[in-house]
Amino acid sequence: MTVIADPSQTTVHTFGAPRLLAGVAELGRVDLGHHVALHGEPVLRRRSWLSGATRDVNLLGRGGAGFPVADKLDAMPSGRVNVLVNGSESEPASRKDRTLMSSAPHLVLDGALVAAHALGSSDITIAVHDQRSYESLMLASQERRDTAGVRIVRTPDGFVAGEIRSVINGLNGEGYMPGGRRILPHHHGVDARPSFASNVETFAHLALLSRLGVADYARTGSTSEPGTSLLTLIGDVGGPGVVEVPNGIPLASLLPGQADAPVLIGGYHGTWVRSLGGLALDRVALRAVGAPLGAGVIARPYAGTCVLTEVVRVSNWLASESAGQCGPCFFGLPALADDVAALAAGAGADRLQSLARRVSLVRGRGACAHPDGSVQFISSAISALGDEFEAHARYGSCGRPPSDVLPLPGGVA
Chain residues in the site for other proteins (CB under 8 A): 177-181, 325-329, 331-332, 335, 358, 361, 365-367
Rounded to the nearest 10 degrees, what angle do helices 96-103 and 200-217 cross at? 80
3-state secondary structure of 47: helix
Shortest Å distance, C-beta 58 to other proteins: 31
Q: Closer CB to other proteins, residue 16 or residue 180?
A: 180
Shortest Å distance, C-beta 322 to other proteins: 11
Q: Closer CB to other proteins, residue 162 or residue 332?
A: 332
- Residues 96, 200 contacting (CB under 8 angstroms): no
Q: Residue 143 and residue 108: Cα distance in Å, rounded?
A: 14
Shortest Å distance, C-beta 119 to other proteins: 29
Shortest Å distance, C-beta 82 to other proteins: 25
The distance from CA 348 to its chain's CA centroid, rounded to whole angstroms, is: 35
Q: Closer CB to other proteins, residue 71 or residue 372?
A: 372
Q: Closer CB to other proteins, residue 33 or residue 324?
A: 324
Shortest Å distance, C-beta 360 to other proteins: 9
Q: Closer CB to other proteins, residue 188 or residue 365?
A: 365
- Residues 113, 146 contacting (CB under 8 angstroms): yes
3-state secondary structure string across 236-284: CCCCCEEEEEECCCEHHHCCCCCCCCCEEECCCCCEEECCCCCCECCHH
**Alpha-carbon torsion (246, 112, 167, 153), positive or negative:** positive
Shortest Å distance, C-beta 355 to other proteins: 13
Q: Closer CB to other proteins, residue 57 or residue 369?
A: 369
Q: Residue 208 and residue 186: Cα distance in Å, rounded?
A: 24
